[in-house]
């Protein structure tokens, strides 16, 4: 199940920010954002977060495999408070006029290879298209072959390179690929 929350709601919800910071550390330990960075990003114009939860929702604002709106927020808040679910994957994204950007995406290591990133990408794509975006951007480490493959299967194409943008464990620099997907109505 994918739940999408607007950034203004999400950035005021400390328990959610803590869950996202934990997932960041689990999914991206070498480059994890902390609560403050996540909160700052979600507080920006057009920001949102999509999360995959490991639970079955109660009746509410369910549309297919995606919950949205106030009923989704209330259900997620209650379920997290009652420890009835876990957030196992997330995507922080932003739409500014005709351009959308994925800032962060990750899946808890225990949930890899289950199609969760694909589900997130599909939900984010639908959300940014509904917001009027014409293109979706992201950047990825050039040595992250699995992520590049996922993004290419989703229709992303490389459009530029940031040379030496990341640092590898051995201290060497790694390029960042900037990838773009055209949004079609």
Tokens 């699995």 — which residue? 146
User: For 88, phi and psi rounded to 5 degrees?
Assistant: -115, -10
Instruction: Determine which helix (DSSP H) or strand (DSSP E) holds 181, and give its type and residue range.
Output: strand 173-182
Q: CA 58, CA 69: separation in Å to the nearest integer? A: 14
User: Under a CB-based contact definition with an 8 Å cutoff, are residues 176 and 185 in contact?
Assistant: no
Rounded CA gap, 148 and 142, in Å?
8
Query: How many CB atoms lie under 10 A from the CB of residue 89?
Result: 24
Q: Which residues are catalytic?
A: 139, 151
SS3 58: coil
């Amino acid at each position: 199940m994918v739940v999408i929350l607007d950034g203004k709601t999400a950035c005021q919800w400390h328990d959610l920010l803590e869950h996202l910071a934990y997932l960041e550390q689990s999914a991206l330990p070498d480059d994890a954002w902390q609560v403050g960075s996540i909160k700052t990003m979600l507080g920006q114009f057009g920001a949102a977060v999509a999360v995959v939860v490991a639970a079955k929702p109660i009746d509410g604002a369910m549309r297919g495999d995606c919950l949205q709106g106030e009923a989704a927020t209330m259900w997620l808040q209650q379920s997290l408070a009652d420890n009835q679910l876990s957030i196992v994957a997330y995507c922080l994204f932003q739409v500014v006029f005709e351009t959308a950007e994925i800032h962060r995406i990750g899946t808890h290591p225990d949930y890899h290879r289950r199609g969760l990133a694909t589900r997130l990408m599909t939900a984010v794509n639908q959300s940014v298209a509904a917001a009027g975006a014409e293109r979706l951007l992201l950047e990825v480490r050039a040595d992250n072959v699995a992520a590049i493959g996922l993004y290419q299967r989703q229709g992303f194409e490389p459009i530029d390179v940031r040379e030496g943008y990341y640092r590898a464990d051995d201290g060497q620099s790694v390029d960042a690929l900037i990838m773009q997907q055209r949004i079609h109505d």
